[in-house]
Structure 1
């Protein structure tokens, strides 16, 4: 899938695709400084940075294969899965925002200070009943409210145009719309209380999805040890994922290495590594040490597994 892209390097004696992927995944899994990762793999700090950028770009090129909002048969299946949780009908997903701490940016620094007092991005995500992310918007600073991110998102515009038959579940930070259900602030009747109970039991899946993602990729739990590019990189318009930089009426935002981290790599890393292993074997660069590193990276303790 991405092996051939990683082979396209202008550097002499470039790292094989497998090692590039391992260096990048180690950063995702630990959030360690590039220098420490380079020392552990006997490569330079700058090489680790290039590996992260190369793998990031390669994964971005195939993101649509793994993250997409449910439609048609998938939408009907998603509704059935949600209704089994707490009886809430016609739900297509749960939406919420989460803060991803970043280093202090040099430009528009105050825009990135969130309500908790630290610099971050405010990342909007939508998940299904199986903790899979179906929509991501990661191009807003931490000071922006959840309701504005939703209002400006491509997914909201799709709902307003009637492209989706169903609705999302959100907390009280979102406005109640015909396609976005929020709880009653002061329930007065038994029916309203049952409505709130069913909605909250279902909506908690997005909080659990955040926990699973940040638990697996520890770089999201602390401050991302990477600097932000001064200007955004262009991508095609109408992105639902929000992993490209966009120009807003207020200021310009960006994407850096966080693009791929925010993507739910939980659902693509196994496919990527199998593809690259096959590709590297065909090019006679297989190494027992490399394969042992693959085994160590993807060994998961039973105690860390979570089921719906």
Structure 2
């Protein structure tokens, strides 16, 4: 089979899988977020989390044209800056693949449909993200300079829980090595390939096909501190509320006790919304 035929079939298959992405990469609706909250505390007792967010760079060849340099990332290669959100099972619940490598994480999130939904659709839970994002009532970041033991406990729980998205990226890239090399396809086809492999990743998770050693697979990327911003007062206040109610134990919360955390968090969310 000729290279041209292979490229044509790859493009067609990737596009076909991408077209059903909305069926397999779905952020939970507000009425279904409770089940997602119940899953996260098993890692580090973090109550109220409905997703972990981060970005990963997917290398590409230069797309050419007058705007090619906007795809050059800060690590000095051409890339697509992919925003991902995952749940506690490492399934992607959101994936944004249409931003160039030079785009900042916070801008990608702020202009996303997910951000709009979190602001206006009545979610009680929140995302966990690194300090590349502003702290808000719906996206909590760690303390840059924790001053109390409770704040240090929050940061430790935050890091262990947010580790999910790094593991998700790591498993995804290990399963699909094509994501680690500059694919010699047109930009639109490359974006379709990224989305298609994420759909296949989710299907693998749903069918318990994760690698046996997935706990050791981590995305190796530097923390992004180029957006040092502790966020709006509302976000800081909500984080402070979680800090005061975070329970530190020698072992993670089990499924039999996580329902108590959900009930407590629902009370906290209602109080927060009433005060806002």
Give yes or no for TM over 0.5.
Answer: yes
User: Which protein has greater RCO, CA pairs closer than 8 Å, 6+ apart?
Assistant: 2
Match of 2:98 in 1: 139
Aligned partners of 1:172 and 1:183 also within 8 Å? yes
The CA deviation at 1:51 is 1.0
Q: Aligned pair in 2 of structure 1 residues 270, 149: CA closer, same or farther (>3 Å)?
A: closer
Q: Aligned pair in 2 of structure 1 residues 269, 46: CA closer, same or farther (>3 Å)?
A: farther
Runs of 5+ in structure 1 lacking a partner? 1-42, 234-253, 272-299
Match of 1:177 in 2: 136
CA shift digits 1:149-195 (9 cap, x unpaired): 01111100111113422100000110000000000000000110001
Q: Aligned pair in 2 of structure 1 residues 157, 73: CA closer, same or farther (>3 Å)?
A: closer
Write the mapping of 1:92-241 to structure 2, written as runs, cut at 5 A: 92-107=50-65, 108-229=67-188
Q: Aligned pair in 2 of structure 1 residues 136, 303: CA closer, same or farther (>3 Å)?
A: closer
Residues in 1 aligned to 2:15 and 2:7: alpha-carbon distance in whole angstroms: 12
The CA deviation at 1:221 is 1.3
Q: Aligned pair in 2 of structure 1 residues 136, 177: CA closer, same or farther (>3 Å)?
A: same
The CA deviation at 1:46 is 1.5
SS in 2 for 1:95: strand
Runs of 5+ in structure 2 lacking a partner? 217-276
SS in 2 for 1:100: strand
SS in 2 for 1:125: strand
The CA deviation at 1:265 is 1.3
1:306 to 210, 214, 221: 214
Aligned partners of 1:213 and 1:264 also within 8 Å? no
CA RMSD of aligned residues (A): 2.4
Question: Which structure has the bigger radius of gyration?
Answer: 1
SS in 1 for 2:116: helix
CA shift digits 1:33-62 (9 cap, x unpaired): xxxxxxxxxx12121112112212221232
SS in 2 for 1:121: strand
CA shift digits 1:108-159 (9 cap, x unpaired): 1110111111110100000000100000111100001101101111100111
Match of 1:260 in 2: 196
1:61 to 19, 25, 29: 19
Aligned pair count reads 213
Q: When the two structures are superposed, what TM-score results if normalisation uses the length of structure 1? A: 0.64
Residues in 1 aligned to 2:130 and 2:205: alpha-carbon distance in whole angstroms: 33
Q: Aligned pair in 2 of structure 1 residues 305, 225: CA closer, same or farther (>3 Å)?
A: farther
